[in-house]
Structures are given as C-alpha cells and as structure tokens.
C-alpha cells in the first residue's frame, strides 16, 4: 500500500536511507531534515504494514521539483515498488503545476525507464545553491547523475 508518510514513520525511513547512504547508494540525511520535510515523503507498506520503501518530492522553485531519497528494501526491489513511489512523487508534482522534475541519482537506467533523461547539473542552479553547495562532494567529487523529466 502506498501512502503519505506520517511522523511515526520518520525514524524508520531515516534509518533505511542512512543505511543505504553508508553503502554508497545515496547521500545521508539528518533526522531533523526528514522531520522538516515530512510532507515531501511517500512510503510503501508491505502486507504486514512495515515500510518497504520510501521516496520524496521536494519543491525547489516555482516550476521545479526534485524526486529524492528513494529507497526500497532489497527484498522488494524489481517488484515495481520504486516505480510506484516515484510515480506518486511525479503525480504530486504535476498536481502542484511543477512541470520540471529532476533527480540526482546513481540509478540512471531505472529513472530512464520512467521517462527521465540525463541532464547537465548546470541546468539546476536552484539545487546547486540550495543543497549541493553544502555537500562534501561538491564540486569536484560529485558522482551523481542529473536527470530531468518534463511531463
């Protein structure tokens, strides 16, 4: 089942995201930032009601949104959970008239299959000056790929 995240979910998906970050799949996020952006998050629940996946849609500008913090438990990968989470984020962005949606990812083939295409990071100055500037990998060691969708 897919739904918007609740306060009671935050510590669970914070742990999931940071475990994923420790293996190099994404960048870590603080617990405080996750509580502060709770309304950005969707969760996918397994049959037992446990969180099997998480993803967020963050608004950056008047017509720019980011799909970020996508994580799916290993045993639920390749079952469509990630796609459903990303599609929920895209739908949320479109509902808000955000028609330029991007992601920074290591999973380029997955995002291509959903309709994203590779872009130059310089096309995303709002992201760079808001988030990237504070990242220890910026500017010389960023290895994530920028991808954009304009539905």
3-state helix, strand, coil in the chain (%, to 5): 40, 25, 30
Q: Report the DSSP beta bridge partners of residue 2.
A: 44
CATH label, 2-149, candidates 3.40.50.2300, 3.40.50.720, 3.40.630.30, 3.40.605.10 = 3.40.630.30
**pLDDT tens for each residue of 34-48:** 999 999 999 999 999
Among 11-15, 52-56, 74-78, 125-129, where is mean pLDDT lowest? 125-129
Q: Measured between alpha carbons, how far is 61 from 69 in angstroms, rounded to an integer? A: 18
pLDDT at 95 over 80: yes
User: 53 and 76 in contact (C-beta within 8 Å)?
Assistant: yes
Q: Residue 26: what pLDDT?
A: 82
**pLDDT tens for each residue of 112-150:** 999 999 998 778 756 654 655 555 555 665 678 899 999
Say which residue, 17 or 133, is predicted with more confidence. 17
CB atoms inside a 10 Å sphere around CB 131: 17
Domain locations in the chain? 2-149
Q: Residue 135: what pLDDT?
A: 59
N- to C-terminal Cα separation, the chain: 25
How much is the average pLDDT of 29-34?
93
pLDDT at 7 over 90: yes
User: 13 and 5 in contact (C-beta within 8 Å)?
Assistant: yes
User: 70 and 88 in contact (C-beta within 8 Å)?
Assistant: no
């Amino acid at each position: 089942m897919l739904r918007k995240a609740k306060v009671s979910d935050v510590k669970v998906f914070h742990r999931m995201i940071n475990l994923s970050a420790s293996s190099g799949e994404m960048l870590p996020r603080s617990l405080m930032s996750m509580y502060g952006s709770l309304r950005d998050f969707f969760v996918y629940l397994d049959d037992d009601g446990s969180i099997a996946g998480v993803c967020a849609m963050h608004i950056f500008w008047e017509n720019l949104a980011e799909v970020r913090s996508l994580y799916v438990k290993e045993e639920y990968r390749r079952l469509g959970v990630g796609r459903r989470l990303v599609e929920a984020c895209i739908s949320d962005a479109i509902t808000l008239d955000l028609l330029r949606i991007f992601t920074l990812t290591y999973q380029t083939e997955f995002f291509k299959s959903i309709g994203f295409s590779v872009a130059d990071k310089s096309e995303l100055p709002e992201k760079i000056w808001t988030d990237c500037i504070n990242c220890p990998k910026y500017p010389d060691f960023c290895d994530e790929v920028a991808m954009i969708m304009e539905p």
